[in-house]
Structure 1
Amino acid sequence: MADTGFTALRQFSFTTRPYLAVDDETGAPIGLDDLDVRVGWLLDLISGAEAQLLSRLWQPATFDVLAAGCDRQGRKLPMQGHVAAARLGWTPHYPDGVYVPSRVTRVVTAQAVGTLRALAYRDTAIIALSARFDPATGRIAAPTTAAEYVPSGFARGVVRQFAAHARGAADARLRITDVQGPPQTSAMARLSAADRQLAQLAVTGHELVLTVKLPTCPAPAGRAQWRSVRLSATIPEHLHGRAVTDWHLPTLVLDRRGLLWRCAATEIVPAADLESASVAVGVDWSPTTLGAAAITAENPDGLSSDYRGWTYDDRGLGIKLARLQAEGQLLHGKAARLTRLAATAPPEVRAQLEEKIAVLDEHRTAVGIKRGKINREMAFDFARQVTDYATDAQAQLIAVEDLTTLESRGHGRVNNNRAAQSARRKAVDALTHTAAGVGVTVVSVPARGSSAWCPGCNEPLSRPGGYHRAWCEQCIIGGNRDHVAGVNLAKRALLGRNKTTRRRGGLPAVRVTEHAPVRQSRDKHAPTPSRPRHRRVRRSLPTVTPRLGVTPNQHVPASQASVWDTVKPTPPHGDAGSRDTRPSPTPATQVADSMRST
């Protein structure tokens, strides 16, 4: 852990579920099924009003106001979404005869303004791209200034929308409202936008007690049909003993298991000092695995590294994710094809096609849920291992490649899927959160040339052993391609640690690539990797009591060791948990022995 003597506040998220619900006034218990129904009524009111408000505000004037950041009187719009909506006169509409408290309206407007502010960047980018789009060739001209630059992936998606719109009308200036419709909203209630009149949270021991007003019917007609309900949920065990300074109001959602709390809390963590960092770990993304790491240290003689890296073993989960992604794309293509056929099919055939489309959509949703779970588990397992690797090496920085500059093209469909950024973005978020808990800072550095240039002389590397090997004849250094890239990334973080830029909600970033020779050192910088072995298996033949009159001609051998015995048991991940790694469960062998003893 980097002990600098300073501390900082950071927020983290976790999820939990209520196990008890009672009426706040009478103390009568409420069943969890009835609780889910009442929360569903609340979410229906919020999502319906939010969708109606977004549909009404889906016009260029809305994005002009958000881009200017000022109201009609020229005053700067506040950061709070519900305050900005009230100042601009954006109020949601509810069905006739339905009474909704003003605090619920705060939740609706805060969620709607947050969505519109996120889409304001897309509107600005679409305006700039439409001015450089040529309908005849279907191409976008190169940007002339740095302000006109947008990610190439976003530009390709917008080009398809421009081409589809150009067939119907030829407008030189397009807005986001011209190329797409209002966004779809999720059924959730962010209680953080409300005050104590709607919801309040208290902590008693290891429990969270949430008091929130819920409707007693689908269409409440008055204030009497909104009653306060007291919900109790358990704080996850891995959060016990943490230096938590504040527990924030949760976000309420409904899933297949019922009511789920998405909570946030603020805790005290060690503060890292970038200027005094002398050891950095570089993490390189690879299509063969999630990532590899290597260490670079700064000494009085300059930069040095032993060029011996560490590669993350995802136990085949990366290949499984690529397979699920390809399966999801295939299901999406089939559903789109059947949708086009159903548009011109007879009524009888259309009904059959719609049933098939519903089945395909259900399967695609299941594949997406499975991918999300695997992504999350693998991301935090990777983050924990990289953090332990950096802590053992006494590193103060972890350098990761800037994902906005990475794009997998021309390597085939399989490799492109394996290099997809969804898992890597989750891994960056998980690594940032996990490393901050031990006082290590994650820095984003440029990715260009990290695995193609020599860390010593900054010249192109040769590939004498194929794609995965790198060698420099001049410096006589080399090794695994990903490990050499990790050395380059760590070098860039150390050289640019005093020139980092910070964006709101983003990582500290090094924008300029600097070079300094990294000499090969025999000093041991990296920790010794653990080498798990197979469990001891008795190879002797079992003792069998021969039966009288029977000649034994066959013996049952002992069970063979499995390759999965080399992997430590994965901690359980239920719904009550956060991004942090939880303690490992009791091994299955101990449970089996205890069952035998009973």
Structure 2
Amino acid sequence: MIGPGSTASRQFAFTTRAHVAVDDATGEPIGLDDVDTRVGWLLDLIAAAGTELVARLWQPVTFDVLAAGRDHQDRRLPAEGHVAAARLGWNPTYPHGVYVPSRVTRVVTAQVMATLRTVAYRDAAITALSARFDPATGRLTTPTAVADFVPPGFARGVQRQLIAHVHRTDGAQSIRLRITDVQRPPQTSAMARLSAADRELAQITATGGELVLTVKLPTCPAPAGRAQWRRVRLTAAIPAHLHGRAITDWHLPTLVLDHRGLLWRCAATELVPTDDDLRSPAVAVGVDWSPSTLGAAAITTEAPEGLVSYYRGWTYDDRGLGIKLARLQAEGQLLHGKAARLTQLAATAEPEVRARLEEKIAILNGHRDAVGAKRGKINRELAFHFGRQVTDYATAAQAQVIAIEDLTTLETRGHGRVNNNRAAQSARRKAVTALAHAAAGVGVTVVSVPARGSSALCPRCDEPLARPGGYHTAWCPGCRLGGNRDHIAGVNLAKRALLGKGKVTRRRGQLPAIRVAEHAPVRKSRDKTSPTPSRPRHRRVRRSLPTVTPRLGVTPKQHVPAPQASVWDTVKPTPPHGDTGSRDTRTFQPSATPVAESMRST
């Protein structure tokens, strides 16, 4: 049903951890460390079988079959990965004497098929780019057909791989290269996607404020029979921010192991309010990705006389997390460079020296993994804080739509090698997911719009903007309109969302998208239409003397209170008697010259 007060289904993800584990058959409690060990055995079996299957299927004929989408009997391949693998006969193999249930095999084939289907697109792109690659100059010719166009960043990465392939083969360049010629098989992650199985392997129920997961785990590293697979019932608490949500379905999680133990990556379906905002929005918020900070926002309103905007938006404050991420990124690159250099030295070193170098390489890799884990935590915190701040800004403005730049057409360039790499490493994809999750809870729709020209064109006359004050300022000589570059880009993005509300395309698993950027003049409003973001104020803390009981036989310390801070956070001299201490009264301060002369005379 579409209309006022209607709802729509939406899936979102969250994480949780088990705090109780019992044996499903006997009801005896099991230690969480034992559960982590048994889950580790399960993940080792899945990762080993998946790696072997990917290596066996790493052939051009595999990607030809996936590109055609037909099996051996010319039937269309189903969307389910484990069903498609069963039709094609792509089954994993396990060590001799090891028994693995068929449902675990479903998990392995589903994960492998998802990886191969993703890589199939890259195989087709590499084949098209290799046909336009000149091995003598190392350059790509201009594409002649629209179907041959690929994103510039992707093309540069493939170009580097083609140049490396030419160097390895001493200039013997083939006309038609495949992904198997320039890349090795991808690594298989140690995880178990239980959603690919059925109730025979795992099932989940929600009781009160807890999730109960019953999953079949091995009791030894190499189970020899069905008796060595037993069901374990795990209980985890539902996160507090999900209490009171209209959740209709809880999906089976993905099990992974991190430094704290077993982690559930869960998904759920909830009902969110929707008033068909993309057809009749009146206020839109445009979010522009900025290289200096994560993003900035501005508001455009649809009025009877046309589009209007205040042209002064809101800039996100990352609380110093961006500087910390840049430092961790530089540290990770340094560790990677050291490990790569030691690997080159170890290849031609003596056996004793090689053993010492391998120990150092292992230590460097461990430090690099720790830095990567810390960057992941900070990126997640930054993304959800950004999503909540933008949602609050849109709610205060009574906006129905939040327009963001299409990340597939967005490329950071023109800011130098270091800044381009730093901006490209920002967690924009996580920020979009967090923003969509936070906005759906309050009934605001997030839509992606074209990014080209958003910060380079005037929202009023659609002419190129000047940069009189540097990168962060924009000025239109014709309209006499100027301001912050990111805020003007936000106005353009919000304008594109309002003008393209009748041309929205929807794809499963993706945000609603507007592919065409239309233009209409945005008049500057004399009235303030955007909310004023709250600013943190300095809070004075009054620290009194500590009440400490004096110890017998010990001389107590003399606590000297700090001077009282003035209004201007400076210590002023004590005014003379009879002075009220006003700003108009100047206090007498003796000159330093007579004092110096008296010191010389003594």
* 1:247 and 2:253 aligned: no
Q: Deviations over 1:302-349 (max 9, x none)?
A: 110011100111112112212221222222122112211211122222
Bigger radius of gyration: 2
Tell me if 1:195 matches 2:218: no
Determine the C-alpha separation between the residues in 2 that align with 1:332 and 1:116.
Answer: 28
The DSSP-based 3-state class of the residue aligned with 2:252 is: coil
* Letter of the 1:112 counterpart: V
Question: Are positions 1:462 and 2:470 aligned together?
Answer: no
Structure 2 letter corresponding to 1:213: K
Q: How does 1:340-351 map to 2 (within 5 A)?
A: 340-351=344-355
Deviation at 1:558? 5.8
Q: Does residue 328 in structure 1 map to residue 335 in structure 2? A: no
Q: For residues 342 and 367 of structure 1, what CA distance do their matches in structure 2 show?
A: 24
Q: Does structure 1 residue 372 correspond to structure 2 residue 340?
A: no
In 2, Cα distance between equivalents of 1:188 and 1:461: 50
Residue 259 of structure 2 corresponds to: 256
Per-residue CA deviation, residues 4-27 of structure 1 (Å, 9 max, x unaligned), is 322111111111111111111111
1:526 aligned to 2:530? yes
**Could you list the runs of 5+ residues in structure 1 that have no partner in the other structure?**
544-551, 564-598
CA distance in 1, matches of 2:421, 2:165: 29
SS in 2 for 1:419: helix
Partner of 1:497: 501
Question: 1:231-380 to 2 correspondence within 5 Å?
Answer: 231-271=234-274, 272-380=276-384
8 Å contact kept, 1:542–1:556 = no
Q: Give the 3-state SS of the residue equivalent to 2:434 in structure 1.
A: helix
1:476 aligns with 2:480: yes
Partners of 1:105 and 1:558 in 2: how far apart?
A: 71
Compare relative contact order (CA 8 Å, sep 6+) and give the higher one, 1 or 2. 1
CA positional deviation for 1:174: 0.8
Q: CA deviation at 1:540?
A: 10
CA distance in 2, matches of 1:442, 1:142: 35
In the alignment, the residues of structure 2 paired with residue 460 and residue 401 of structure 1 have an alpha-carbon distance, to the nearest angstrom, of: 19
User: 1: distance between equivalents of 2:220 and 2:541?
Assistant: 63
Q: Is the 8 A contact 1:3 1:270 kept in 2?
A: no
Letter in 2 for 1:14: F
Which residue is 2:48 aligned to? Answer: 48
- Residues 403 and 449, structure 2, Cα contact 8 Å, conserved in 1: yes
1:139 is displaced (CA, Å) by 0.9
Judged with a 3 Å threshold, the aligned counterparts in structure 2 of structure 1 residues 3 and 321 are, in CA distance, closer, same or farther, namely: farther
8 A contact 1:492–1:515 mirrored in 2:
yes
Which amino acid is the alignment partner of residue 95 of structure 1?
P
Q: Which amino acid aligns with 1:88?
A: L
**Structure 1 residues 397 and 558, CA gap change in structure 2 (3 angstroms):** same
> Is structure 2 residue 459 aligned with structure 1 residue 449?
no
Tell me how far apart the structure 1 counterparts of residues 438 and 562 of structure 2 sit (CA, whole Å). 48
Distance in 1, Cα, partners of 2:559 & 2:281? 69
Q: Is the 8 A contact 2:277 2:401 kept in 1?
A: no
Would you say the 8 A contact 1:215–1:227 is kept in 2? yes
Partner residue of 1:174? 177
Compute the displacement of 1:465 (Å): 2.7
Whether 1:393 and 2:362 are equivalent positions in the alignment is no
Residue by residue over 1:471-520, the C-alpha shift from the partner in whole angstroms, topping out at 9 and shown as x without a partner, is: 22322221111111111111111111211223332222222221111110
Distance in 2 separating the partners of 1:555 and 1:432 = 51
CA deviation after TM superposition for structure 1 residue 455, in Å: 0.8
Which 5+ residue runs of structure 2 have no aligned equivalent?
Answer: 548-557, 570-602
> Could you tell me whether the CA contact under 8 Å between 1:214 and 1:228 is conserved in 2?
yes
Return 369-378 or 463-472, whichever deviates more.
463-472
Distance 1:384 1:77 in 2: 41
The answer on whether the counterparts of 1:537 and 1:560 sit within 8 Å (CA) in structure 2 is: no
Contact 1:541/1:557 (CA < 8 Å) preserved in 2?
no
Letter in 2 for 1:26: T
C-alpha distance in 2 between matches for 1:323 and 1:417 = 13
TM-score by length of 2: 0.88
In the alignment, structure 1 residue 149 sits paired with structure 2 residue 152: no
* Residue of structure 2 in register with 1:164 after alignment: 164
Q: Name the SS for the 1:12 alignment partner.
A: strand
The answer on whether the counterparts of 1:318 and 1:418 sit within 8 Å (CA) in structure 2 is no
Query: Contact 2:294 / 2:426 at 8 angstroms: preserved in 1?
Result: no
The corresponding residue for 2:26 is: 26
Q: Which residue of 2 aligns with 1:10?
A: 10
1:325 is paired with a residue of what secondary structure?
helix
